Structures are given as C-alpha cells and as structure tokens.
Amino acid sequence: MKAAHAAGAKVEHIEPDYLVSLSEIAARAEVSKASISLYAKGERAEGFPAPIARVTTESPLWDWFEVARWMYKRRSISLNTVIEAKMVRQANLALMQPEGFDAIFAKKFREELAA
C-alpha cells in the first residue's frame, strides 16, 4: 500500500470484489449456478447466507466471505479461499474509512489475533 502511495497512486478498491452475485458465487466455487440457486433458496441445504445488498429487486448481492465460510463448513471450498475472501473484504472496508487503510487494517488484524 505504501509503495502505491509513494508512486502517486491512490488505491480505491481491491479485487476480486467481496460483493458477489449468484453467478459469481458459482464461478468462484466452481459449481453450477443452479446448485448455488438451490442453496440460496434453501432447497439443498439450510443456513445459506442472506443477501446483504440489492442492485435491483431481482439482483441481490452476497458477501463472498460469508458464503465462502458457509461453503467451507460443508467442505465445498478450501480454507485458503475463505481466508482470501476475508482479507479482501476487510481491505475494501478499510479503504472506505476516512481514517485510512493502514490504520484500520492493522487494528482489525490485531483485534482478531488477540481473540
């Protein structure tokens, strides 16, 4: 991050985005969209995370970390995928804070390590 700032760049967002559609969930989890749709409807398993935002009424978005964690508990994806999802989400949330990325990101990880 410091290198980007030193070069005169401003980091506004880190990819891949943590907000995902059903299609993106299917692609990241390497399963069919139909399977993910059944999970989301509660027809294949219980407890699939609820959407956290909607672009339109018919375009919900999920938090990839929450979905990845749910899928990991069902042995559908790797722990590394869940860790990456959490890091990207935390980094993007920190970038949105007025205190600045470095302070927020460091504080969050210190709190999590202490827990």
pLDDT values of the chain reduced to their tens digit, one per residue, 115 residues: 566 666 777 777 678 888 999 999 999 999 999 999 999 999 999 999 999 998 877 889 999 999 999 999 999 899 999 999 999 988 888 777 766 656 666 677 677 777 6
- Around 62, how many Cα atoms within 13 Å sit in the side-chain half-sphere? 22
Percent of the chain clearing pLDDT 90 (strictly above)? 53
Please give the C-alpha separations between residue 34 and each of 23, 27, 31, 43, in angstroms, as whole numbers: 9, 11, 8, 11
Give the global pTM: 0.74
Per residue in 12-42, pLDDT (tens digit) is 767 888 899 999 999 999 999 999 999 999 9
- Contact between 67 and 16 under an 8 Å Cβ cutoff? The reply is no
